[in-house]
């Protein structure tokens, strides 16, 4: 769990705040014929006019390993992606398809048919999971006349497309299979056209989904491009015949989408292109359009409530709370709320402080005397994720245990002896251990169970009759069942025993109850003004800096298009929630879903936008401007994204940004200081000081703004490669992770258990830094001059790693 709940923070670039879980996707894929009997395209033939249908039949060749290394470096993966064995395959009707020769192997073509929209290659090649491999797929598109069609393409992960032997698209990107992520124009010739696709896997699932887009899908794409201000994609679509007045599947025209997004320049652009003037529908109608795709489908649901000035102005449920039981989502459906729980835990601590029963400055050792370094950790540290205590939800074996009941003492014991991630107060890292400990402290101080204290202190006085602690065996009326996504199909999600969540995320609730809480908390009915102010104050670290996220006590503050908001989100397997408040407008938004990956809008800012769009700041289209190379050079360096680092580099007068563990993407200037990504709706603003030196930046995505610091760079030195040999070996970080130090091509690499290799750069004969993460490692010798351990400094914390091999 990371930011804002049982949660994950970014997704690039950055994922949103929910517990990040890699879904294992299963599909039925079968080899229809043996490789030896394949002649021609067989079923892998499509008509250019048959748009909208997914292309489920292909000829497939693979898998091909990226390298002999089981965990190749990202540079090796990218190099393999750029190199190609083939760009077309000769197909002669009635004759066998020629095999592909690679790495002294001969790959025969298989005819593959998928029963699902996506073709999952890990299933096509057998039940064994494949990582760091690629494969080719070919199909035929027949056209009665020459013309351009638009291909909608999704992939896991990198993808290339050739049409009749010409490369027409490439995207090196880590992502899951989602339909229509990429839109590719295919200029077809009359007669037979060959489409060849290369899909390269990084880790996890592996596959692709493709279709020729119909007019409705193209209109959806235009609406997304308009909302993002993506002029390049808008021009691509309009130039290829997409009607500027055609409405999306949600019933929204491009002009209305531009008005809601505050893009006045695009409104004028669309009018020049022939768009007809149209008024924006009322907010309730707009919100309905966001979720109408759920109507009539057997899929998990969404529940949404909006109130203004304390009065409900919108409440509705869509989809199913229980698919098998045919129970639909209603405003009264109960959902597990994950880390939205944290603001209740924080409020309980502040209430106990108001009663003089504790202080946020109390040491953890006061309540758990034998907790390691407990005299250094305060309740304030626990509330603000600055304690450095390792989060138990980040432990590798956590997910295997979460369905069974555990006692509080046992859970605390499971992480109390883990090494600290950093020294208390020196850094920020979203941490569920801290909030679990807070729940424990509430019980010790109040003499009541966590749930009973919340009930007596908050739920009963506020008439929140449908909120409480979830536990194994609880019988709730109208409770939502949690589901996991399986490429459009839904299976039961892992069913947490919420004893594993405690004060970090164990509550369930309803739309009305959380709205009651939102309005009561922010109108001063729950806490004294000084307590609420403390909860909304962003934490300051020991060095005087503030972390990238504006986190206080269980609450996050930010701005969306100039409008202030206060929020916290929550998520665990099968559930995701959002609770947001817009103080100036006195607008409250509550959202639930009973799947972690809803296929529709799940952003409270978009719901608020339906009501406030005309009051929000205007947005401009993303147009690339010219920036001198000497200015671009000022922005290069590494930026601290809490548990990740973004490297900004300059290559041939083009800036690139790369987040730890992800691909490198170009970023484009929209002004002298602001840049945007084309692969995702995100932007970054570099902020010079009075001397023109850039030491920080603002990153914005999905309404979140992160203030990121530029890291100071160590001077890399050259050392004798012979010295590196003494450092190779295995070093134990903890019971689950061993770091293997490897020498390759006179360079050192570190490879933690189950992870990829990270290059180490020498800053002295014994010290090395990592550029992909904010870390430094030094090697220590014993009295005999032999290296017997290493010291790792990461995110401000120190760990000692004894050499074990």
Write the pLDDT tens digit of every residue in 469-526: 999 999 999 999 999 986 567 899 999 999 999 999 999 999 999 999 999 999 999 9
Q: How does the average pLDDT of the chain come out, rounded?
A: 89
Fold of domain 335-612:
Beta-lactamase (3.40.710)
List the chain domain ranges: 29-212, 217-280, 335-612, 629-710, 721-802
Fold of domain 721-802:
Lipocalin (2.40.128)
The pLDDT tens digits for 274-314 are 999 999 999 999 999 999 888 878 899 999 999 999 999 99
The pLDDT tens digits for 594-640 are 999 888 889 999 999 999 999 999 988 888 899 999 999 999 999 98
Class of domain 29-212: mainly beta
Return the bridge partners of 160, or none.
Answer: 170, 198
Among all chains, which residue has been given the structure tokens 């920020």? 428
Class of domain 217-280: mainly alpha
Backbone φ, ψ for residue 333 (5° rounding): -65, 140
721-802 shares the fold of 29-212 = no
Backbone φ, ψ for residue 663 (5° rounding): -75, 165
Q: Which of 336-340, 659-663, 680-684, 755-759 reaches the highest mean pLDDT?
A: 336-340
* Residue (of 241, 169, 181) closest to 211 by Cα position: 181
Distance of CA 423 to the CA centre of its chain: 27
Sign for the pseudo-dihedral over CA of 320, 322, 323, 328: negative
* Residue (of 583, 431, 426, 609) closest to 519 by Cα position: 583
* pLDDT on residue 32: 39
Query: CB neighbours (10 Å) of residue 459?
Result: 23
* pLDDT on residue 20: 24
SS3 category, 662: coil
What CATH number does domain 629-710 carry, 3.40.50.1000, 2.40.128.50, 3.30.830.10, 3.40.50.1820? 2.40.128.50
Cβ atoms of 734 and 414 closer than 8 Å: no
Cα–Cα distance measured from residue 456 to residue 453, given in angstroms and rounded to the nearest whole number: 5
Does residue 679 carry a pLDDT above 70? yes
* pLDDT on residue 28: 35
Does residue 580 carry a pLDDT above 60? yes
The pLDDT tens digits for 76-102 are 888 999 999 899 999 887 788 888 888
Q: Which own/partner pairs from 444-453 qualify as long-range (CB within 8 Å, at least 24 positions apart)? A: 444/367, 445/352, 445/357, 445/358, 445/367, 446/352, 446/357, 450/502, 450/503, 450/506, 451/506, 453/348
């Amino acid at each position: 769990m990371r930011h804002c709940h049982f949660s994950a923070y970014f997704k690039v670039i950055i994922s949103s705040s929910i517990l990040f879980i890699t879904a294992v996707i299963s599909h039925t894929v079968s080899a229809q014929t043996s490789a030896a009997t394949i002649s021609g395209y067989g079923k892998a033939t499509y008509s250019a006019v048959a748009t909208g249908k997914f292309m489920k039949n292909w000829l497939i060749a693979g898998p091909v390993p990226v390298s002999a290394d089981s965990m190749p470096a990202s540079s090796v993966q990218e190099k393999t992606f750029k190199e190609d064995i083939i760009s077309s395959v000769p197909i002669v009707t009635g004759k066998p398809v020629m095999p592909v020769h690679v790495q002294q192997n001969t790959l025969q073509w298989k005819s593959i048919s998928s029963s699902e929209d996506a073709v999952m290659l890990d299933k096509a090649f057998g039940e064994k999971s494949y990582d760091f491999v690629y494969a080719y797929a070919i199909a035929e598109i027949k056209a009665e006349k020459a013309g351009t069609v638009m291909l909608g393409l999704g992939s896991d992960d990198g993808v290339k497309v050739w049409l009749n032997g010409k490369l027409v698209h490439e995207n090196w990107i880590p992502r899951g299979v989602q339909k229509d992520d990429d839109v590719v124009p295919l200029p077809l010739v009359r007669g037979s056209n060959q489409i060849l696709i290369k899909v390269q896997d990084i880790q996890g699932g592996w596959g692709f989904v493709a279709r020729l887009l119909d007019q409705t899908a193209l209109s959806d794409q235009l609406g997304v491009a308009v909302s993002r201000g993506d002029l390049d994609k808008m021009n691509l679509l309009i130039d290829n015949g997409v009607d500027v007045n055609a409405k999306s599947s949600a019933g929204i025209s491009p002009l209305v989408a531009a008005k809601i997004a505050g893009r006045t320049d695009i409104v004028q652009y669309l009018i020049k292109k022939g768009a007809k003037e149209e008024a924006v529908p009322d907010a309730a109608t707009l919100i309905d359009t966001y979720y109408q795709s759920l109507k009539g489908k057997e899929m998990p649901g969404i529940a949404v409530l909006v109130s203004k000035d304390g009065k409900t102005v919108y409440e509705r449920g869509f989809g199913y709370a229980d698919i098998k039981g045919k129970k639909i989502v209603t405003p009264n459906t109960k959902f597990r709320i994950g880390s939205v729980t944290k603001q209740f835990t924080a409020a309980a601590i502040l209430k106990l402080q108001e009663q003089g029963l504790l202080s946020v400055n109390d040491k953890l050792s006061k309540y758990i005397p034998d907790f390691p370094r407990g005299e250094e950790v305060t309740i304030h540290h626990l509330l603000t994720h600055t304690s450095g205590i390792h989060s138990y939800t980040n432990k590798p074996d956590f997910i295997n245990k979460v369905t069974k009941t555990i006692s509080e003492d046992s859970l605390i014991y499971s992480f109390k002896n883990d090494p600290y991630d950093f020294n208390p107060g020196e850094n920020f890292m979203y941490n569920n251990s801290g909030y679990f400990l807070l729940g424990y402290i509430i019980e010790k101080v109040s003499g009541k169970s966590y749930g009973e204290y919340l009930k007596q202190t908050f739920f009963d006085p506020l008439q929140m009759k449908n909120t409480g602690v979830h536990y194994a065996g609880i019988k709730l009326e109208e409770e939502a069942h949690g589901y996991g996504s399986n490429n459009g199909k839904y299976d039961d999600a892992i069913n947490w025993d919420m004893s594993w969540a405690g004060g970090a995320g164990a509550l369930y609730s309803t739309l009305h109850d959380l709205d009651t809480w939102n309005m009561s908390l922010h109108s001063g009915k729950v806490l004294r003004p000084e307590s609420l102010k403390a909860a909304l104050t962003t934490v300051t670290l020991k060095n005087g800096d503030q972390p990238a996220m504006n986190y206080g006590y269980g609450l996050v503050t930010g701005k969306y298009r100039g409008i202030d908001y206060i929020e916290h989100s929550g998520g665990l397997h099968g559930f995701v929630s959002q609770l947001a408040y817009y103080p100036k407008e006195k607008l409250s938004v509550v959202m639930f879903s009973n799947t972690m990956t809803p296929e529709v809008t799940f952003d409270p800012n978009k719901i608020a936008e339906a009501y406030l769009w005309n009051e929000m700041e205007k947005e401009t289209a993303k147009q690339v401007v010219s920036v001198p190379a000497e200015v671009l050079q000022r922005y290069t360096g590494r930026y601290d994204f809490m548990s990740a680092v973004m490297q900004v580099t300059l290559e041939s007068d083009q800036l690139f940004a790369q987040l730890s563990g992800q691909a490198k993407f170009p970023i484009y200037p929209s002004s002298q200081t602001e840049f945007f990504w084309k692969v995702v709706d995100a932007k970054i603003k570099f902020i010079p000081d009075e001397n023109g030196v850039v030491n920080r930046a603002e990153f914005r995505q999905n309404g979140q703004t992160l203030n990121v610091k530029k890291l100071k760079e160590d001077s890399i030195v050259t050392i004798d490669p012979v010295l590196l040999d003494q450092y190779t070996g295995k070093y134990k970080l903890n019971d689950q992770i061993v770091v293997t130090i490897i020498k390759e091509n006179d360079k050192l690499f570190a490879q933690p258990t189950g992870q990829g290799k990270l290059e180490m750069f020498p800053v002295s004969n014994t010290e090395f830094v990592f550029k992909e993460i904010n870390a430094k490692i030094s090697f220590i010798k014993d009295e005999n001059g032999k290296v017997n351990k290493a010291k790792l400094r990461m995110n401000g914390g120190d760990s000692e790693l004894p050499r074990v091999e």
